[in-house]
Structures are given as C-alpha cells and as structure tokens.
A and B are shown apart, each in its own frame.
Chain A
Amino acid sequence: MRTPLRPLARILHARQEGLNPDSIEKENLKLRHEAMREKARGRAQFRLLILCASFVMAFGAIGARMGLMAATEPMEPRASAPGAEIIAQRADIADRNGRVLATNMTTHALYAHPKVMVDPKGTAQKLAEIFPELDPKALERRFTDGRSFVWIRKILSPEQMQKVHEIGDPGLLFGPREMRLYPNGTLAAHVLGGTSFGAEGVHSAEVIGTAGIEKALDARLRDPAQGGKPLTLSIDLTLQSTIEEVLGAGMGMLNAKGAAAILMDARTGEILALASLPTFDPNDRPNPLVDKNAEPGDSPLFNRAVQGVYELGSTFKIFAAAQAMELGLVTPETMVDANAPMQWGKHKIKEFEGKNYGPLLSVTDVIAKSSNVGTAHIALMIGPLRQQAFLKSLGFFEPTPVELVEAPGAKPLIPKKWPEIVTITTSYGHGMSASPLHLAAAYAAIANGGVAIKPTLLKREGQTTGVRVMSEKTAMEAVKMLRRVVTEGTASLGEVPGYEVAGKTGTADKPKKSGGYYKDKVVNTFASMFPASNPQYVLIVTLDEPQDDTLSETRRTAGWTAVPVAAEIIRRVAPLMGLRPKLEPVAVDAVTAASN
C-alpha cells in the first residue's frame, strides 16, 4: 500500500508543534525512494543470477560434451547412408578392356602373444609342421624369452589358417590383411612390378608398390579419393599373352638369353603389349641379384624393353635417311657413295661380312641392303648438329616418360663429344645406346606421319597431339623404304601375307665390360610397322644373344632371328586387333549352294 507523502495526522501534529511539515514530506519521499531503489536492486540481482546460471549451463553443456567426446571410443556414425564412402583399398589395375591385372584379396597375418600362450613348446612344434620354413627351436625361444608380441607369418592361406585354428592355443591370433593378387601370374609382370607390405599393424597393413607401375603410380593407386576406381592400362591382355607366348617360343628356338617385344599404337603412343623375357611371378617376386659381378640382365626382374639400353644397330639407319629427305638433301632415288670399305681418319667403316654394295647405291637401296657406308655418307651430309637435334626430337636423349619406376633410371648412353666419326657410327646405330622403347617411340613417329609421341602405359582417350618432327611426305617415303626392306631386303622373312609389314633389322655386337665387342654375342632387333599403306602399329622385337643353328651354318643376324619371330607375332596379333588382311581371299568360282 502506498504511503502518502504528507499524512494528514502527522502534518497537523507538526503544525501544532510548530515544526515545518515539509520535513515530513521530505522524509517520506526519501523512504519511498529507498524502497524503490531496493526493489530495483533486487530485480537486477535476480536477472544477473539468471544470466549467470544460463552461462554456466551453456558452458557446462559444451564442456560436458567435449569431455564425453574425448573420453569415449571413436566410432563411425551408425546412421550414415552407404554409397559415397571412402574406400581405403588399393585400386585395382585393369587392362584396356577392363580385364583384371591386379586386385586385392582379404587374407590374414599370424601373430602371437606368448604371455597368454598355454603350451609354447607344443605350439612351436605344431606351427613348424604347418609352415616348414619355420624353425621350431627358434620359434620356441622367441615364445619363451619374455616378449609379449611375436609376428609369425605375413600371409596365410585359408587352409593354413584352419590348421592354425586347430592348434587351438589362445596365444595365436590373426590380423586381417589386404593382399595384392595378380591373377594372370607372370603375364605383364614387368609392367605391373610388384608390391610389399609397408607399415604393419595388427588390424591392417599398408600395401606399397615396389616396382613397375605399382610403384610409379603408387600415390594414384592408394588415393582414397579415387574411390577404388580401377587404373586402366593401355595393355591388352590377349595381345600381351600372345606376344609373350610367341616370343617365348622364339627365344627357346633361337637359344637366346633374353627377349623383349613392344607393340605400340603409332598414333597415340599407347603401349598395347610390353614383354620382357625371362619373366617372373609378381605374386612371389624374386629377390634382386646380390652378386656384384652379375649383369643386371641376368635377373628376371630386369625389364629389357625399358631398362635394356643396347646399341640398336642398323635400325637407326632410317633416321638418317628420313632426316636427309626432310632436309631436301636427298630423294629416295638419289645415288650415294657406298663404296666399302670407307676410310675415315684412322677408322675403317665396313659392311656386313666385308661386302661391297657400291660404288653407288640409291637411298632406298642403302636402307634395303642395310649399307653402313651409304648411311655414313648420308649422315655426313646432315652433319653432327642437325643429326643430334633430330635424334633429340625423337626422344633419344632422354629417358622414356613411360609410367614405370624403372624408366627414369634407363638413360640412353650418349657419346659426350660428337665428332664426325660419332655422326657416322650413330647413323648406323653404334656408339649410342637406347632402349627398345625409345626405338618404338621413334618408329611410331615415322609410322604416324611424322609426329613425335610420348609412349604411355595408360589408356588414352581420343587423339593425342605431339610435335611434328618431319613432314608427312618424308614419313611416307621412309615407310616405303622400310617396306622395301621386307619385300626385297634384309628382312624378307618378315613378310606376313596381307599385312604389308615394313621394318628394319638391326644387329649389334654386344660390348665387353672390359671394352671392345664380343665376336659371337649380338643383340638382334627388328623394328617394324604394319600395315605399310596406313601404318597403325609399331612392333619392336629384340633378342639377346640368339643364334639360328637350323641350317648348316650358325646365323646371328636379325634377319634370321628377330624377323621371323616378329613376323609370327604380327601374324597372330593383327587378326586379334581386328586388322583385316589386305589380300583378296581365294576366289570363289560361283555362288555355292549348301544346305544349312
């Protein structure tokens, strides 16, 4: 109830007393203000309390949630929709038609907790029975020397796992493992390379590439963002298998130490097949050779097609001829000096078996007959600088850019200085070494009409663009010359009816480690393209130390070794690629009626 400021009773009383009644009003006003202030303070305090409480609650809730999240085991959200999840698996590798070349399989690793083992001795014995490579004594020692964790096997087969289960010791435990599997065995082993385990844990282990494309594209294969999309190679499984089969048979027949073949699409640079023999099984990759005296080529891991840097011999002659035509120095009909032997300073340039094709030979015949002297004269017309520039534009001075981890290491061996004698020897493929893959890329440039391509192992979509290194006309003339080599030159065994094979043979003596060349060890190469009227594919076949003993004499020239092997490959492979032979089928007399 509101107290009046001037209560009548007190005013009257004050007047009687002779006091100032205003003081009463003042006093009452003061009291009233005090009461009002008190009330306002109370309300403000209450509001502050509420605010305080709400802050405490809010921060308390956040703190409690944080504590809860920090203290609990992490787990995946249960209600998330499956579909676009991250796949932690290593991506598959497939061939150009989607057939699997490498995939993953779930298996198990075996480890032990010796501290919880019931019978360490018996367990060690039984394990050694299952896995003969384990030593029971060593295993027992490791089980009993006080350690609490022992790895036993990296990979188990289901049968082995069942047997370990049957031992029934609680100290033996299994960890899940992703295993890389190459279902085709040795097929395309040098392309695929291999894998091994990286960091290993009980619950998982990372699979890392150790060689080949598995290592070169390791990051792409392991990238979870790719969602397990398979890596599509340019390799065609059927062609690869056929080539490996034919090449293997040829290598056996010719007693060669090794062999390599590359089949390439001349327009795109896609490698359709890349074989190197002897080969290995990437599922069980052999160890590299440790013997210091061993040549790298002795190991099956050695990829002859990419790492094998050889002097490629006469296959180089076409580059000199093509460049000379491109520069307008010669035409295919120009007669050049081919009088053997040719004396250059203190060097004597001879022909094969001391023959003499001279005194004059047309450029076409220089290639067809594989005349060293003729090529040397053509190369001298070109000169060292222009020759180097041309070979460089064909990719002979750099390692091949193919997606294999071995490729950057295989640098071509280029002479440091380039005097005229080097110009001469290089023109017929001596003194400078390159890999068969380099040769394939360079021949592809001739085959596709003069555009340098980059060899690749990945499937390419659409047309690729490259740098033009020679005119279309020059390339066509060069192909015609190469066709002549097969129809009437050194590669007559390379003729495959209907497929117009064009190519050039090359026989190079193997260099000795101590210097000089072996007399009876050669590297034979046949670089070819087909069909000559519109070259689409390039095939390189290289044989390491072959010899043909079928006739009375021993032959080591490419025309007798690499060429027939290449011809057989083309005969088998071209129909598989849907290439129709360009010959009229046997004429049918008349319409034949037959019952169906």
Chain B
Amino acid sequence: MRPVLYVLSFLALIALGFWAYRENYATQGALKEVESLQRQIVGLREALTVQKAEWAYLNRPDRLRELATANFDRLGLLPMEPSQFGTAAQVAYPRATLPDISFTQDVQGTLSTDAEGL
C-alpha cells in the first residue's frame, strides 16, 4: 500500500510542477499582452487628442466663415438673422395629391346615394 502511495504522490508532484510551469508562462504571456495593449492605448489616446485638436482647428469659426463665403454660390449660407424666425402660419401646406383623371367626360346631375350604393 505504502509504495503505491509514494508513486502516486510523486506523479502528483510532477503533474503539479508541469501545471505551475505552464501557468508561469501563461502569466508572462498575459502580462506581455497587457503591456502591448497599454502601449497601444497610449498611442491611440495620443492620436485621439491630435484628431480632436485637428477637428477643433478645422472647425474654427474663422475657417467656417471663409468656407461659407467661398462656397456661397452653392450653399447660399448667410449669418443667422432675426428675420429667419418664422411662425407656423408661414409654413406652406403641401399640395394635396389628386388621383389621376381617367374620364374626360363631363357628367352633370344628382347622385342618389341609395341607388349608387355610396
């Protein structure tokens, strides 16, 4: 009985050693990955600030004003004016869509609702 126990515990020791070895390398790999990801994050953050700065630079009011002036023919943009406020009454109604006229004959007379089933 006792030798079997010895052999079993020895095997268990080898198995544990193998497991620990693998875990060690897996941890080191994970750490390396974290490091590279963090470097990537730093790089992306930097790029983000540059892009934000660039966005702000390209959208600076002076430039937008110049662009609006340069493209006035196409866009027709003007500074906002008090006269641009309107009321709901000024909004034009859309034209009612009429069905196509298929009969050209004029018909005159009265319709009897009962007879026509209307």
The stretch that binds A, out of B6-14, B17-25, B47-55, B104-112, is: B47-55
Known: A100-B52, A575-B85, A594-B92. A185 touches B60 (CB 8 A): yes
Alpha-carbon distance between A332 and B54 when the two chains are bound, in angstroms:
56
Alpha-carbon distance between A82 and B61 when the two chains are bound, in angstroms:
36
B101 close to A (CB within 8 Å): no
B53, A79: Cβ atoms closer than 8 Å: no
B52, A242: Cβ atoms closer than 8 Å: no
CB of A242 to closest CB in B, whole Å: 7
A588, B85: Cβ atoms closer than 8 Å: no
Alpha-carbon distance between A585 and B41 when the two chains are bound, in angstroms:
55
Known: A79-B31, A593-B95. A585 touches B86 (CB 8 A): yes
CB of B49 to closest CB in A, whole Å: 6
Specify which chain A residues have a CB less than 8 angstroms from the CB of B59 in the assembled complex. 99
Known: A496-B82, A585-B87, A594-B92. A100 touches B56 (CB 8 A): yes
Interface size bracket, A side: 35 or more
Interface string of A580-596 (1 = CB under 8 A from B): 11000100100111111
The stretch that binds B, out of A102-110, A297-305, A475-483, is: A102-110
CB interface residues, B 84-115, toward A, < 8 Å: 84-87, 89-90, 92-95
CB of B83 to closest CB in A, whole Å: 8
B53, A105: Cβ atoms closer than 8 Å: yes
Alpha-carbon distance between A99 and B52 when the two chains are bound, in angstroms:
10
A245 close to B (CB within 8 Å): yes
B87, A499: Cβ atoms closer than 8 Å: no
B53: which of A181, A580, A595 is its contact (CB, 8 Å)? A181
* Residue ID in chain B nearest A103 by CB atoms: B53
Alpha-carbon distance between A210 and B82 when the two chains are bound, in angstroms:
40
B38 close to A (CB within 8 Å): yes
CB of A572 to closest CB in B, whole Å: 6
Known: A241-B62, A592-B93. A103 touches B52 (CB 8 A): yes
Known: A575-B84, A593-B92, A596-B94. A106 touches B79 (CB 8 A): no
A187: which of B53, B55, B60 is its contact (CB, 8 Å)? B60
A183, B56: Cβ atoms closer than 8 Å: yes
* Residue ID in chain B nearest A81 by CB atoms: B34
B41: which of A82, A187, A238, A580 is its contact (CB, 8 Å)? A82
Alpha-carbon distance between A187 and B59 when the two chains are bound, in angstroms:
13
Number of interface residues, chain B, beta carbon within 8 A = 35
* Residue ID in chain B nearest A181 by CB atoms: B53
Identify which of B34, B56, B83, B95 gathers the most chain A CB atoms within 10 Å of its CB.
Answer: B56
A497, B89: Cβ atoms closer than 8 Å: no
Specify which chain A residues have a CB less than 8 angstroms from the CB of B95 in the assembled complex. 593-596
Specify which chain B residues have a CB less than 8 angstroms from the CB of A245 in the assembled complex. 65
B82: which of A106, A238, A574 is its contact (CB, 8 Å)? A574
B61, A499: Cβ atoms closer than 8 Å: no
A185, B62: Cβ atoms closer than 8 Å: yes
B80, A183: Cβ atoms closer than 8 Å: no
A572, B56: Cβ atoms closer than 8 Å: no
A142 close to B (CB within 8 Å): no
A56 close to B (CB within 8 Å): no
Alpha-carbon distance between A424 and B90 when the two chains are bound, in angstroms:
54
B80, A575: Cβ atoms closer than 8 Å: yes
* Residue ID in chain A nearest B86 by CB atoms: A585
Interface string of A335-353 (1 = CB under 8 A from B): 0000000000000000000
A82: which of B31, B38, B93, B94 is its contact (CB, 8 Å)? B38
B61, A100: Cβ atoms closer than 8 Å: no
* Residue ID in chain A nearest B31 by CB atoms: A78
B56, A103: Cβ atoms closer than 8 Å: yes
B92, A238: Cβ atoms closer than 8 Å: no
B72 close to A (CB within 8 Å): no
Specify which chain B residues have a CB less than 8 angstroms from the CB of A596 in the assembled complex. 94-95
Can you list 13 A-B contacts (CB < 8 A)?
A79-B30, A82-B41, A99-B56, A99-B59, A104-B49, A187-B62, A245-B65, A498-B82, A574-B82, A575-B84, A575-B85, A585-B85, A596-B95
Residues of chain B having any CB pair with chain A under 8 Å: 30-31, 34-35, 38, 41, 46, 49-50, 52-57, 59-62, 65, 79-87, 89-90, 92-95
Which 3 A-B pairs have CB atoms at the shortest separation, nearest pair first? A241-B61, A183-B56, A100-B56
